[in-house]
Structure 1
Amino acid sequence: MKIYPVIDTEECTRCGLCRKDCVANAIEEATMTVNNDLCIRCSHCSAICPVGAVAFNGETGTLLNKLPENMDLYFETLIKRRRSIRHYKNKILDDSTIKRILEIVNHAPTGTNSQKVSVTVVNSFEKMHELSDIAMRFFRFLMSVLINPFTYPIIVLLSGFKGLKRLVYYKKNINRYFEGENILTHDAPALFVFHVSKRSSCPSEDGVIWATTAALYAESLGLGTCYNGFLVRGINSSDRLRRFLNIPKTNKVYEVFTAGYPDVKYVRSAYKSELKSTVII
């Protein structure tokens, strides 16, 4: 059931801030009531109200603290220090840590305020190893179908020799896994999977935004993460992986990252090529 804002007319001072900020023009000025047919439930009216007169399901939201001084420098350091972590300590994530990440990421934006992003979390070495094994067996099967003497000419015709070399490279890496090297999840203790309803207005954008928000917050909690595009493709293509993770048929996975306590420490920012940018004034 969708929950819409309710304005307490006795508490309301009629300052007009909520009406001014309402992108849907859903607040009637005369009665200070919300037209639910227009409302997109973005909660701006509640967030901007200085006296807490606007509530969702009886809740007016928590008062926000002011940002600390030099917040820009803290955030700059957070962005620069984040690296893809492929070496993790033998320690699962605390339940409270996962809960904090999920609570914060639920505040991330979604297109048209659809709020149709779901998050599946794996937090078990045993389950992670099982997941990795299912995925790599699936990839090995795909490579056996794609790469053989009969398909070489077709691959070269469609993708050129570079495409063929890339597939051969992938096949060699898959073999590394079955030789004992976990090149897929790097023995991480946890995995975050972001999947979005196919009926959402901006599913791919929402999934990436949520994953980025969660990864940065995880970094602030002392965790390390590593995005995994292979698992994104694998989960979306393998019914067995989808069942393992309980991904609904109505949803599509748009981002995945491993997470854990890093067993490596980076002390310098990484080299980046010069940004090509345009500023129009």
Structure 2
Amino acid sequence: MLNFTVDSRTCTRCGACAADCPPRIISLENGLPAIAPEKEAACYKCQHCLAICPTAAISILGVAPEQCTGLTGTLPAPEAMATLIKGRRSVRRYRDENLAPELLQQLLEVAWHAPTGVNSRQVRFTVVDDRRKMAEFRTNLLEELGKLVRRNALPAGFERYADFVRVWEEQGQDILFRGAPHFLVASAPQAVVTPAQDCLIALSYFELYARVNGVGTVWDGLATLAITQLVPAARQWLGIPDDHAVGYCMAFGPPAVSYQRTVQHPAALIHRVS
């Protein structure tokens, strides 16, 4: 049941909800917007109808307008958004401290609002939420990599992982996770339309929201390859479902470095179709 309801006292019959409905299942035939029972299965559950209603007359999926945040006057200025995007940095130096649990939960909840193919909303965040858990995971993963090195069993193209193991064993230097106290894996069922893309978009949202909350992040390709290509047991350690595709991994936590300004990259590569 979609629980699609309309407040007849405030609805203006403007038709905005029907016009913006992606599967076109909202009807105005009887004056007020309505969804026929036989069409409910086609609903994307995107809540566009609730979001677009100018008078907050529509509720759906048990969500009422008064539970939502109004957008007028609350969005960041374009200049602030541009600075956020241009000012993001890959952080490779972290303090050995946990984030506050409430902040960590907020980061995940907000990032999960990222768009997904056909609104599947199946991205799963697997998070290492405590630095002691992270230390154990780091040690176990590097030990397994060390076994591969000593058996000369690293696949072609992964030879540099021998150096990562050596630096860890000789100097205690963590190149895989950069000493971050937290770790995030975005995965999605292989059966959804766009599992990899959904995960990458979600992590991009996570990264930007983390930045404005003073949290550092780094896209962790080295750890992603270690988990998906070299030490498959790591998926079981982390509890990633067997039918999930790992989109990417991100290390994060309180940064031990503070960047002061944006940088200057070359001009954007743009091709305008003639």
TM-score when scaled to structure 2? 0.87
Q: Does residue 41 of structure 2 align to residue 37 of structure 1?
A: yes
Tell me by how many angstroms 1:169 deviates. 3.2
- Cα RMSD (Å) of the superposition? 2.3
Whether the 8 Å contact between 1:108 and 1:209 is mirrored in structure 2 is yes
Tell me by how many angstroms 1:196 deviates. 0.7
Give the aligned partner of residue 58 of structure 1. 62
Q: Whole-Å Cα distance in 2 between the matches of residues 17 and 242 of structure 1?
A: 45
Residue range with higher mean Cα deviation, 206-215 or 27-36: 27-36
Give the aligned partner of residue 161 of structure 2. 170
Report the secondary structure of 2:40's partner residue: coil
The C-alpha deviation readout for 1:110-135, integer Å capped at 9, x for no partner, is 11001111112212121111111222
Superposition map of 1:1-80 within 5 A? 4=2, 6-8=4-6, 10-11=8-9, 12-31=11-30, 32-34=33-35, 35-61=39-65, 62-67=68-73, 71-80=77-86
Residue range with higher mean Cα deviation, 192-201 or 33-42: 33-42
Q: Whole-Å Cα distance in 2 between the matches of residues 8 and 17 of structure 1?
A: 13
Give the aligned partner of residue 268 of structure 2. 275
Tell me by how many angstroms 1:104 deviates. 1.0
Tell me by how many angstroms 1:230 deviates. 2.2
> Which one of 118, 128, 136 corresponds to residue 112 of structure 1?
118
Give the aligned partner of residue 174 of structure 2. 182
Q: Whole-Å Cα distance in 2 between the matches of residues 177 and 241 of structure 1?
A: 18
Tell me by how many angstroms 1:76 deviates. 1.6
Give the aligned partner of residue 137 of structure 2. 131
Amino acid of the structure 2 residue aligned with 1:13: T
Q: Does residue 231 of structure 2 align to residue 231 of structure 1?
A: no
Q: Whole-Å Cα distance in 2 between the matches of residues 119 and 33 of structure 1?
A: 35
Q: Whole-Å Cα distance in 2 between the matches of residues 196 and 100 of structure 1?
A: 20
Q: Whole-Å Cα distance in 2 between the matches of residues 227 and 235 of structure 1?
A: 14
Q: Whole-Å Cα distance in 2 between the matches of residues 209 and 125 of structure 1?
A: 26
Structure 1 unaligned blocks of 5 or more: 156-162
The C-alpha deviation readout for 1:232-272, integer Å capped at 9, x for no partner, is 23333444312221111121211211111111112233353
Tell me by how many angstroms 1:5 deviates. 5.2
Amino acid of the structure 1 residue aligned with 2:5: I
Whether the 8 Å contact between 1:85 and 1:262 is mirrored in structure 2 is yes
Amino acid of the structure 1 residue aligned with 2:89: R
Structure 2 unaligned blocks of 5 or more: none
Give the aligned partner of residue 89 of structure 2. 83
Q: Whole-Å Cα distance in 2 between the matches of residues 271 and 174 of structure 1?
A: 35
Report the secondary structure of 1:199's partner residue: coil
Give the aligned partner of residue 219 of structure 1. 211
Report the secondary structure of 1:218's partner residue: helix
The C-alpha deviation readout for 1:66-109, integer Å capped at 9, x for no partner, is 34687111112112221111111232100111121122112211
Q: Does residue 244 of structure 2 align to residue 251 of structure 1?
A: yes
Give the aligned partner of residue 140 of structure 1. 146
Whether the 8 Å contact between 1:5 and 1:55 is mirrored in structure 2 is yes
Residue range with higher mean Cα deviation, 46-55 or 265-274: 265-274
Report the secondary structure of 1:192's partner residue: strand
Q: Whole-Å Cα distance in 1 between the matches of residues 110 and 189 of structure 2?
A: 20
Q: Whole-Å Cα distance in 2 between the matches of residues 169 and 249 of structure 1?
A: 28
> What is the percent sequence identity of the aligned residues?
29
Quick one: structure 1 residues 100 and 144, their matched pair in 2 at CA, closer, same or farther if it must change by over 3 Å?
A: same
Give the aligned partner of residue 242 of structure 1. 235
Q: Whole-Å Cα distance in 2 between the matches of residues 280 and 118 of structure 1?
A: 37
Q: What is the count of residue pairs matched by the alignment?
A: 264
Q: Whole-Å Cα distance in 2 between the matches of residues 231 and 254 of structure 1?
A: 12
TM-score when scaled to structure 1? 0.85
